[in-house]
Structure 1
Amino acid sequence: MTAFDEPRFVDGVLHSSVTSDELLKAIRKLDIRDDDVIVVSYPKAGTTWTQEIVSILFYGCDIEKADEKYIRHRFLFLDMKKLDSSLGPHEIAASLPSPRLIKTHLQSNEMPEQLTTTKAKIVFIARNPKDNAVSLFHFSNAIAPRDRQQSWSDFFTDFCEEKVIMGGWFKINTYWWSRRQDKNVLFLKYEDMQKDLTGGIMKISEFFGWPIPDGKLDEIVEHCTFSNMKSNPKTNYSDSPSLDVNSTPFMRKGKVGDWKNYFTVAQNEAFDKLYEEKMKDTGLLFDYEL
């Protein structure tokens, strides 16, 4: 069984069998604690990068302590039931001590109801939709059965029509962008982090109120560069049984502008028109090259 077995739509969002109807209902009722630390994103938007930064700051800027565990063991992934566990993530969450580190790609209509009123700190990382689509295309094919792997053209159509696993890019980004002024929400852009990683780490530090000791910032910045994270077995998912990292690394390029190697002129024009329609009056803009 893989994450792509038996996909079906639930309230307009495509889910696999490991995100069952029962699990989605249970997640909605999950108790969120005021001291929870939650990373939210659309898949392949810089989630693991953000998790690594957050967890290092969480552990008092002790890189070695943070990296004692694989990144997937530091954060509870709320969206899917592990195939080797009899417990759902909502049940595991209830048993964890506070403060909890949680990550999710859930859409706004699927997330725990208490996330609209909680004091828990939430970091949302957003990535420009063109690069995000390309990254998700490669990842989706890497974990999909061979008979469900797609061409770029077919994936592009599904992405635009919000028919990919975990739903639409537009929906989740517009929701969290609308909440960017909430005191407990930090909205970050992948491209801004690429341009100024030091500034991004400092923003996260200030948001949580976790000070960075003198002399530690440069060390954290170096540790969290894309090249170092790609070579770090604690963050590169090289131990994942569901991903062939030799053919398609979990961390592939990490560049801004790689979409130009995939989008045709017609696709780019069609997507720009779609973005204008979907994001009209939101004011949410992205860099598509650096």
Structure 2
Amino acid sequence: MQVKGRLWNLFFLFSPEIFRLHLKEMSFEYFKYKGVNFSPGSYSEEALSFAENEFEVLDDDVYIVTYPKSGTNWMIEILSLLRTKGDPTWCNSLPIWLRSPWYETIEGQSQIKDVVTPRVLTSHLPCHIFAKSFFTSEAKIIYVMRNPKDILVSLFHFSKMLSLYKYPKSFAEFFEDFLQGNVLYNSWFDHVKGWMQMKQNSNFFFITYEELYKDLHKSVIKICEFLGKDLDDSQIDLVIKHSSFNAMKENKMSNYSLIPQDFMDQTKGSFMRKGIAGDWKNHFTVAQNEYFDAVYKEQMKELKMTFFWEQL
């Protein structure tokens, strides 16, 4: 009860207007900050401006940056376990969003002062509105990408649960909104193309959900190399064990079961839904797949990169 009470306070008591927004069923319009869609409640122009222009990035910070539903919480869990060399005690005692808050949200900005240093922070921001202080720092970014077809499916289900998203009327309508970027954080294509401008930078590391899914051991070793972490084989095995889908699903500090229902209604779905790659095949029609492929080809042609999911 103490943990739940603390969570309620963290999400709502410091901002009564958020409490009122999340307590009642209501439709809303996304507002734009520098052309990007955000939802009222957890975001404000003031918080976003602070995140972009005033937030102080520390040289030993690590930022997990993703487009939503790309494996964000999986990476938080992995980095949390790397910090403790595989010991799950910290992951089992502190909620995942307090271990690595979203620094652009109103809630996250209130939580950062309590984050253990060196800080691991999280963001969904596009590159062009990311913290300016990052680009003159020695901080690092781990950018996680995922097959956008699977992201679309995951977001469709997630949008039914999380109050920050407009409730989707149908899969077909959400499919079109996703391709047009008419969703929270805008276009997946623009997000990836923006961040891939940094792919040659030594403080920027990118990996895909599919790589993590296919070979987590190899992926964890790569992450350790990027971060300068020295773990032995037994410690890496512990990281893999405790960051598995089943382990996270059973961990109340990682499965979001402690979040108030008004903010995330898990009676409408499960936050830890499937944890697989390729679920889009169970949702797309042949026509939708062909249409998506055509848009993907046009949008990504200038990037001239082959992503891991394209090889599967």
TM-score, normalised with respect to structure 2 = 0.84
Using the TM superposition, give the Cα deviation of residue 214 of structure 1 relative to its aligned residue in structure 2, in angstroms. Answer: 4.4
* 2:211 partner letter: D
Alignment of 1:7-26 (within 5 A): 7-17=30-40, 18-26=42-50
Give aligned pairs, total. 284
Using the TM superposition, give the Cα deviation of residue 229 of structure 1 relative to its aligned residue in structure 2, in angstroms. Answer: 1.4
Q: Give the secondary-structure state (helix, strand or coil) at the position aligned to 1:187.
A: strand
Kept in 2, the 8 Å contact 1:256–1:288? The answer is: no
Question: What residue number does 1:108 align with?
Answer: 127
- Output one character per residue of 1:16-70: Cα deviation in whole Å (capped at 9) or x when no partner: 1121111111111211110011100000100000010011112333221343211
Alignment of 1:165-176 (within 5 A): 165-176=184-195
Aligned mate of 1:187, from 203, 206, 210: 206
2:79 is the alignment partner of 1:54: yes
2-side partners of 1:147 and 1:38: how far apart? 27
Using the TM superposition, give the Cα deviation of residue 109 of structure 1 relative to its aligned residue in structure 2, in angstroms. Answer: 2.0
Kept in 2, the 8 Å contact 1:229–1:235? The answer is: yes
Using the TM superposition, give the Cα deviation of residue 256 of structure 1 relative to its aligned residue in structure 2, in angstroms. Answer: 1.1
Question: What residue number does 1:86 align with?
Answer: none
Using the TM superposition, give the Cα deviation of residue 249 of structure 1 relative to its aligned residue in structure 2, in angstroms. Answer: 0.8
2:268 is the alignment partner of 1:247: yes
Question: What residue number does 1:135 align with?
Answer: 154
Question: What residue number does 2:16 align with?
Answer: none
Using the TM superposition, give the Cα deviation of residue 90 of structure 1 relative to its aligned residue in structure 2, in angstroms. Answer: 4.2
Question: What residue number does 1:277 align with?
Answer: 298
Question: What residue number does 2:240 align with?
Answer: 221
Q: Give the secondary-structure state (helix, strand or coil) at the position aligned to 1:259.
A: helix
- Output one character per residue of 1:140-163: Cα deviation in whole Å (capped at 9) or x when no partner: 121249983321111111100001
Using the TM superposition, give the Cα deviation of residue 262 of structure 1 relative to its aligned residue in structure 2, in angstroms. Answer: 1.4
* 1:25 partner letter: S
2-side partners of 1:19 and 1:97: how far apart? 24
Q: Give the secondary-structure state (helix, strand or coil) at the position aligned to 1:206.
A: helix
**Whose helix proportion is higher, 1 or 2?**
2
Gaps of 5+ in 2: 1-20
TM-score, normalised with respect to structure 1 = 0.90
1-side partners of 2:165 and 2:113: how far apart? 37
Kept in 2, the 8 Å contact 1:159–1:168? The answer is: yes
- Output one character per residue of 1:90-122: Cα deviation in whole Å (capped at 9) or x when no partner: 465467564222100011122111223321011
Kept in 2, the 8 Å contact 1:257–1:289? The answer is: no
